[in-house]
Amino acid sequence: MAKTELILKKNLDIYILFICVFASLLLIFSNNNQKIQKIRSNTLDAFSFVYQPFNWLDNQVFLTKKLEVLSYENLKLNLENQILFSNKIENERLRDLLKFKKRNELNLIGADILSKGVNANMSSVLVDRGFVDGVKKNNAVLSSRGIVGKIIFVSNNHSGVQLVSDVDFRVSVKIMPSETEGIMRWIKNDICEIVEVQSTSDVEIGDIVLTSNLSIHFSENLPVGEVISIYKKSNSSNKIVRMKLFSDLSTLNQLFIIREEG
């Protein structure tokens, strides 16, 4: 206690000076006299460098928080945009399917793909429809744009689909408007060949390819693809027609199975 009193006595002059300066400043800054206000303004201008770093720091903190908020809002908008874009694609796909179904009066069953490559020897997918849904072996399978394959095995709740891209897949097709017939087989990606086409047939690039009435498992006039090139095979009376599938096999996620009537 005595030591504290000694320190206070020793620094008493400093404490009194500090109190006086503080009281003077308080009186100055609380006085509304015009001269005092002018002094106050000049003093603030003179010592503005003291509080400028603090203002800068406050601004940086505010900008950082603002940037975080804007980044969050930007992320939300991007996610919402992706959802809207996905919904737009889905709506367009379903709209195309409804038009296709109405035009052909088909009995279709929607099916989601559960996995790909169910058989090591062929390009195939597994879907979530089976006997209980009326699915049977060899039922044709479509996307909203055209044929993609056929059912190769069925269980109660699942089915395997052999895709067009399987090397053993074949389907009888016709090229419109000439109705030239041939057999389609897969080549690579979304490119297929139509073989056994007579060299005298009237086929042009851009012609549409549909399933023909000679197809065993596919209804007639199902969309298949579009002619992209034609060339004559050497030492043969036939020519080869190459076509591009309407369906993109690499982006399949939902399929439609044509269920047989009765």
Highest mean pLDDT among 41-45, 88-92, 183-187, 246-250: 183-187
Indicate whether 193 belongs to any domain.
Answer: yes
Which CATH number characterizes residue 216's domain?
2.40.10.350
Which CATH number characterizes residue 117's domain?
2.40.10.340
Q: Are residues 190 and 242 in the same domain?
A: yes
Please provide residue 48's backbone torsions phi and psi, each rounded to the nearest 5 degrees. -65, -25
Q: Are residues 158 and 186 in the same domain?
A: no
Q: Are residues 146 and 205 in the same domain?
A: no
Residue that has been written with the tokens 């030492």 in this structure: 235
Q: Kindly list the distances between the CA atom of residue 259 and the CA atoms of 112, 140, 256, in Å, as whole numbers in the listed order.
A: 16, 8, 9
Report whether 258 contacts 129 (CB < 8 A).
no
Q: Are residues 154 and 177 in the same domain?
A: no
Q: Are residues 177 and 241 in the same domain?
A: yes
pLDDT digits (tens, 9 = 90+) for 23-71: 566 555 555 555 555 555 555 555 555 555 655 566 666 667 666 666 6
Indicate whether 95 belongs to any domain.
Answer: no
DSSP reduced 3-state for 83: helix
Report whether 202 contacts 165 (CB < 8 A).
no
Of residues 14 and 54, more confidence is placed in 14
- The span from the CA of 231 to the CA of 199, in Å, is 9
Q: Are residues 151 and 181 in the same domain?
A: no
State mean pLDDT over 211-240.
87
pLDDT digits (tens, 9 = 90+) for 70-84: 665 665 566 566 556
Indicate whether 70 belongs to any domain.
Answer: no
Rounded to the nearest integer, the mean pLDDT of the chain is 77
Percent of the chain with pLDDT over 70: 57
Confidence of residue 236 (pLDDT cuts 50, 70, 90): confident
Q: Are residues 185 and 203 in the same domain?
A: yes
Confidence of residue 249 (pLDDT cuts 50, 70, 90): confident
Highest mean pLDDT among 17-26, 89-98, 248-257: 248-257
Dihedral angle of Cα 59, 65, 67, 70, to the nearest 10 degrees: -130
Paired sense of beta strands 208-211 and 223-232, if any: antiparallel
Indicate whether 21 belongs to any domain.
Answer: yes
Confidence of residue 145 (pLDDT cuts 50, 70, 90): confident
What's the pTM? Answer: 0.60
Of residues 75 and 253, more confidence is placed in 253
pLDDT digits (tens, 9 = 90+) for 148-180: 999 999 999 999 999 999 989 999 999 999 899
Residue 138 has pLDDT above 90, yes or no: yes
Q: From the CB of residue 237, how many other CB atoms can be counted at a distance below 10 Å? A: 9
Q: Are residues 115 and 158 in the same domain?
A: yes
Q: Are residues 149 and 175 in the same domain?
A: no
- Looking at residue 137, its pLDDT comes to 93
Indicate whether 220 belongs to any domain.
Answer: yes
State mean pLDDT over 238-248.
91
Q: Are residues 129 and 157 in the same domain?
A: yes
Q: Are residues 175 and 158 in the same domain?
A: no
Domain holding 219, by residue range, is: 171-246
Report whether 111 contacts 128 (CB < 8 A).
yes
- Looking at residue 24, its pLDDT comes to 61
Q: Are residues 194 and 143 in the same domain?
A: no
Indicate whether 242 belongs to any domain.
Answer: yes
DSSP reduced 3-state for 215: coil
- The span from the CA of 82 to the CA of 197, in Å, is 45
Confidence of residue 262 (pLDDT cuts 50, 70, 90): low
Indicate whether 219 belongs to any domain.
Answer: yes
Report whether 140 contacts 218 (CB < 8 A).
yes
pLDDT digits (tens, 9 = 90+) for 88-119: 666 666 666 666 555 556 788 889 898 876 55
Indicate whether 99 belongs to any domain.
Answer: no
Helix (H) or strand (E) holding 185: strand 180-188
Count structural domains, the chain: 3
- Looking at residue 140, its pLDDT comes to 93
- The span from the CA of 233 to the CA of 32, in Å, is 105
